[in-house]
Amino acid sequence: MDMEDNRRKPAVMKQSRAKIWIRAGVLAVFLTLFGLSIYQDIISGIFYWFWAMIPFFICLVAGFWMSRFVPMQVYSEYQLITFSFDRIYFILIFSLVIIKVVAARAIGLNFLADIIMCGILGMMIGRLSGICLRVRTLKSSFGERNS
């Protein structure tokens, strides 16, 4: 990396705080939509809570593990951390959403769609948690307490 690039302060939207809030917002939307759908299937007897836990926890661990591969850049002189868009994660989530829609709408397998939704939520929560922990660890390494 060029030394001049290190001296310029990164744009606000590239900073870890903004990226984490964007990811949290996307997670809130998915959690609301998928949560209502899963709840409706549980009420109707198509799906059960304990079935949801297995794919959720497996994908939670996988998402937490995937957070290690998010490329991050530390700007210690500004006490900032940036990370870039992870195309592999985006393609994975996008593909799972498409598979979920096909399973529920085209094939009529609501059970499979619910399992996929639980997996997506687990992966998103695990990955966001892992990213937050990595950012916290990196920030503590250069003594930042308030950001």
By residue range, what is the domain housing residue 49?
A: 10-141
Strand partners, 83: 72
pLDDT of residue 104: 86
pLDDT of residue 32: 93
**Is residue 5 included in any domain, yes or no?**
no
**Is residue 133 included in any domain, yes or no?**
yes
CB 124 within 8 A of CB 25: no
**Is residue 56 included in any domain, yes or no?**
yes
Q: pLDDT tens for residues 27-48?
A: 999 999 998 989 998 899 888 8
**Is residue 121 included in any domain, yes or no?**
yes
**Is residue 147 included in any domain, yes or no?**
no
Q: Is the pLDDT of residue 13 over 70?
A: no
Strand partners, 81: 74
Q: Is the pLDDT higher at 13 or at 62?
A: 62
Q: What is the mean pLDDT of the chain?
A: 83
Q: Dig out the tokens for 52 from the structure.
A: 């949801």
3-class secondary-structure state, position 95: helix
Number of structural domains in the chain: 1
**Is residue 2 included in any domain, yes or no?**
no
Per cent of the chain over pLDDT 70 is 88
**Is residue 75 included in any domain, yes or no?**
yes
What letters, b where the CB count within 10 A reaches 16 and e where it falls short, cover 25-44?
eebeebbeebeebbeebeee
Whether the model clears a pTM of 0.85, i.e. scores above it, the answer is: no
**Is residue 36 included in any domain, yes or no?**
yes
